[in-house]
Amino acid sequence: MSFQDVRPFTFGEFIKFRREQLGISQSQIARKLEVSERQYRNWESDKFKPNLDSLLPLLRALNLRLQDIESVLESESTS
Between 78 and 65, where is the model more confident?
65
Other residues' Cβ atoms within 10 Å of the Cβ of residue 69: 20
> DSSP E strands: which ranges in the chain?
none
**8 has a pLDDT exceeding 70:** no
Q: pTM for this one? A: 0.82
Can you give the pLDDT at residue 74? 73
pLDDT in tens, 32-77: 999 999 999 999 999 999 998 999 999 999 999 988 888 777 777 6
11-77: which CATH architecture? Orthogonal Bundle (1.10)
pLDDT at site 73: 73
- The C-alpha atoms of residue 57 and residue 61 are separated, in whole angstroms, by 6
pLDDT at 3: 52
Q: Where are the domains of the chain?
A: 11-77
